[in-house]
């Protein structure tokens, strides 16, 4: 049974993405978590209504996100489906290709954990404030939503390097440890060191690294409009009350957005020293297409195959006939003109056309790898793929004929033709031979005793990309990280504090509070939880609203708390918002 709500959007997700989806742990959110959500959202709505793109505030209502409560995934989905989107809950960071693929299906992945009060301004870990309150509202803008979908479509095909997954795991671990208040300083330091070492020793940026940079500087940390006076639209900024204010200061460099952003790396653990400004959402799409034109999915060739080999992951090449070969590419032979002469995979391989697996050419038929020449025949100007039936007969390419195929590259295929496989338009995709030997110079590439040889037809590699052509060919594609988000263990004292938060929350919602109740909770707060400030702020808000005399004591308590540097701005922002609320009543 699916661990998420199926609707007309989520029902289209391929099965291999289901494993990343988890049930939203709504019952695990503490009353303090709810208070943190409310504080951040009250701050954001007040401030961002002035500095965010106009779609943000409008989008909050459209996507069913309220200030008062952490959103439930089911409720968001019922509303999001009206604009053609959906949301699913995941456990922290998921692999970039999977993240992008969800996006391609119009599905937002929402990390369901909630930041702690210690990281109320900014958290390096993805959480529900960042995902739901940051990403979701802007997708109510149709132009931006199409950019997101298209980004996912292109990004999911980006080829990673073998180093990228190691970096992903290191960043995932660091973000988990930093968000867990029970992590030791030694654990965090070691994880930080690992990330830094990987960053310092990365080779040339892979396609995935570059497109991840573009995602970061647009979807996560993008500004829009005039470079001198931009608005905010990036989810990382929209969800961070600290960075949403800091980002507009002159100390943060503002750069006109361009494809150059693909080469600008970022640090998830600190605020960004520079940000990119796009003039409008349409321009984001232009830069994305410009970048896509540099990717192997559009350029193919020898470099595309080499990127797949370097990735050590499942990928696909497409030849000029449209035949697609999916597997783990292990070797490529280059001819004297720098073109692909022969490709070789190892392990399970599948052949497809138009993203549909060819009958009898799945992984069961090619369990131990697959190889084929690529290119034109020597001395014949007409490629096999362009030959009409009479041409094929003239060149001796027909069933039952023993044929020697000598390619311009020097690859030689010799055997008896059994059959050919064509696409719906009649174009030859494969020629199958028995008693076949394949050689390149003195190297034997295929022997008769290995079985029949399925020779893919195509004069060149026109595309190379991550993942399989047919998502059903390989079953469970991708893997879930073994490093799980930590479930925070709370002490009995913390649990007692959260009961007080819950009591205040219920009384505020039901309008049943009184001065005796507030005074009792305040006395207990001062006695047992002197490090907490947010509950005192909520008590002050209620006291001011009801004009209770205890408001002066609460205000003095909060003013004393402001002497702590880490709390000064947080408390003052909260007090300022309460004052604004009161002025609006006058």
User: What average pLDDT score do residues 26-45 get?
Assistant: 92
pLDDT band at 115 (very low <50, low <70, confident <90, very high): confident
The answer to whether 237 and 247 are in contact (CB under 8 A) is yes
Establish how many alpha carbons lie within 13 A of residue 108's alpha carbon, considering only the half-sphere containing its beta carbon.
32
The pLDDT of residue 1 is 39
Q: Does 93 have pLDDT greater than 60?
A: yes
Q: How far apart are CA 554 and CA 542, in angstroms?
A: 11
Which DSSP string corresponds to 62-113?
HTT--SSSPPPHHHHHHHHGGGT-EEEEESS---HHHHHHHHHTTEEEEE--
d(CA 433, CA 406) in angstroms, rounded, equals: 15
Res 346 pLDDT > 80: yes
Q: Report the chain's mean pLDDT, rounded to a whole number.
A: 91
Token pair for 276: 């990119």
Round to whole Å and give the CA distance between 243 and 251.
12
- Position 4 confidence tier, pLDDT thresholds 50, 70, 90: low
What are 513-523's pLDDT values in tens digits? Answer: 788 999 999 99
Residue 308 host element (H or E): helix 301-311
Q: What angle do CA 12, 101, 476 make, to 5 degrees?
A: 75
CB 466 within 8 A of CB 368: no
How far apart (Å, rounded) are the C-alpha atoms in residues 372 and 331? Answer: 11
What would the two tokens of residue 200 be?
A: 């310092």
Q: Which residues are CB-neighbours of 102 under 8 A, at least 6 positions away?
A: 13, 17, 20, 88, 108, 109, 152
- Joined tokens for residue 294: 């540099």
pLDDT higher at 481 or 110: 110
Q: 430 has which bridge partners? A: 421, 456
Token pair for 5: 């709500």
The band of 172, judged by pLDDT with boundaries at 50, 70 and 90, is: confident
What is the pLDDT at residue 2? 52
pTM (whole model) above 0.95? no
Q: Per-residue pLDDT for 563 more than 50?
A: yes
pLDDT (0 to 100) of residue 133: 81
476-507 pLDDT per residue, tens: 777 777 777 878 888 999 999 999 999 999 98
Backbone angles phi, psi at 24, to 5 degrees: -60, 125
Fold of 296-466: SH3 type barrels. (2.30.30)
Look at residue 566 and tell me whether its pLDDT is greater than 70.
yes
Bridge-based pairing of strands 223-226 and 229-232 is antiparallel
- Rounded distance, CA 344 to CA 329, Å? 6
CATH class of this structure's domain 10-289:
mainly alpha
Sign for the CA dihedral angle at 542, 546, 548, 553 comes to: positive
Phi, psi (rounded to 5 degrees) for 274: -145, 155
What's the token pair of residue 2?
A: 């699916």
Q: Greater confidence, 415 or 481?
A: 415
- Give the residue among 284, 307, 104 at the shortest CA–CA distance from 209: 307
Q: What is the pLDDT of residues 119-154, one digit of tens each?
A: 888 777 778 888 788 888 888 899 999 999 999 999
Residue 532 pLDDT more than 70? yes
Entry field: residues in the chain: 586
In DSSP terms, which residues pair with 403 in a beta bridge?
A: 415
List, in order, residues 6 or more apart from 468 with CB less than 8 Å away: 314, 316, 326, 350, 352, 474, 477
pLDDT of residue 407: 97
Give residue-wise pLDDT tens across range 378-393. 999 999 999 999 999 9
Q: Mean pLDDT throughout 454-472?
A: 96
pLDDT score of 586 more than 60: no
Count of CB atoms situated within 10 Å of the CB of 412: 17
- In sequence order, which residues have a C-beta less than 8 Å from that of residue 482 and are 6 or more positions away? none
């Amino acid at each position: 049974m699916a661990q998420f709500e199926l609707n007309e959007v989520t029902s289209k997700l391929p099965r291999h993405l289901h494993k990343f989806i988890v049930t939203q742990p709504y019952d695990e959110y503490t009353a303090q978590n709810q208070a943190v959500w409310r504080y951040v959202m009250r701050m954001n709505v007040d401030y961002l209504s002035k500095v965010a793109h106009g779609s943000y505030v409008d989008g909050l209502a459209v996507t069913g996100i309220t200030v008062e409560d952490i959103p439930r995934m089911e409720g968001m989905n019922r509303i999001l489906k009206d604009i053609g989107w959906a949301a699913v809950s995941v456990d922290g960071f998921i692999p970039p290709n999977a993240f992008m693929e969800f996006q391609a299906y119009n599905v937002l992945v929402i990390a369901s954990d909630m930041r702690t009060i210690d990281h109320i301004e900014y958290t390096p870990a993805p959480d529900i404030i960042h995902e739901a309150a940051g990403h979701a509202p802007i997708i109510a803008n149709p132009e931006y939503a199409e950019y997101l979908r298209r980004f996912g479509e292109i990004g999911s095909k980006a080829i990673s390097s073998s180093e990228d997954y190691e970096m992903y795991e290191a960043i995932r671990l660091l973000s988990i440890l930093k968000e867990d208040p029970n992590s030791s300083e030694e654990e965090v330091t070691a994880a930080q060191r690992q990330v830094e070492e990987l960053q310092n020793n990365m080779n040339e940026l892979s396609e995935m690294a570059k497109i991840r940079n573009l995602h970061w500087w647009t979807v996560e940390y993008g500004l829009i409009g005039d470079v001198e006076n931009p608005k905010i639209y990036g989810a990382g900024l929209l969800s961070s009350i600290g960075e949403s204010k800091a980002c507009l200061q002159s100390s943060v460099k503002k750069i006109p957005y361009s494809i150059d952003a693909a080469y600008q790396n970022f640090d998830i653990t600190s605020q960004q020293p520079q940000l990119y400004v796009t003039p409008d959402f349409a321009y984001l799409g232009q830069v994305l297409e410009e970048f896509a034109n540099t990717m192997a999915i559009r350029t193919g060739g020898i470099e595309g195959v080499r990127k797949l080999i370097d990735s050590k992951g499942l990928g696909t090449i497409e030849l000029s006939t449209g035949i697609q070969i999916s597997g783990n590419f292990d070797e490529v032979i280059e001819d004297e003109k720098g073109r692909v002469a022969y490709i070789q995979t190892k392990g399970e391989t599948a052949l497809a056309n138009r993203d549909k697996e060819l009958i009898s050419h799945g992984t069961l038929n090619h369990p131990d790898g697959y190889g084929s020449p690529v290119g034109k025949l020597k001395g014949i100007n007409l490629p096999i793929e362009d030959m009409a039936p009479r041409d094929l007969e003239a060149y001796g390419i027909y069933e039952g004929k023993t044929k020697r195929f000598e390619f311009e590259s020097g690859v030689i295929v010799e055997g008896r033709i059994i059959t050919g496989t064509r696409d719906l338009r009649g174009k030859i995709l494969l020629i199958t031979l028995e008693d076949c030997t394949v050689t390149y110079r003195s190297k034997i590439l295929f022997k008769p005793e290995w079985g029949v040889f399925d020779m893919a037809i195509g004069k060149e590699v026109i595309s190379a990309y991550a993942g399989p052509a047919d998502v059903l060919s390989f079953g469970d594609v991708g893997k879930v990280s073994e490093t799980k988000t930590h479930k925070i263990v709370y002490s009995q004292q913390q649990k007692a504090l959260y009961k007080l938060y819950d009591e205040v929350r219920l009384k505020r919602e039901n309008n049943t509070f009184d001065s005796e109740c507030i005074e009792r909770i305040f006395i207990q707060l001062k006695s047992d939880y002197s490090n907490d400030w947010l509950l005192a702020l909520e008590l002050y808000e209620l006291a001011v609203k009801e004009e209770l005399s205890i408001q002066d004591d609460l205000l003095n308590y909060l003013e004393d708390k402001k002497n702590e540097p880490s709390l000064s701005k947080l408390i003052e922002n909260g007090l300022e918002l309460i004052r604004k609320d009161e002025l609006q009543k006058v």
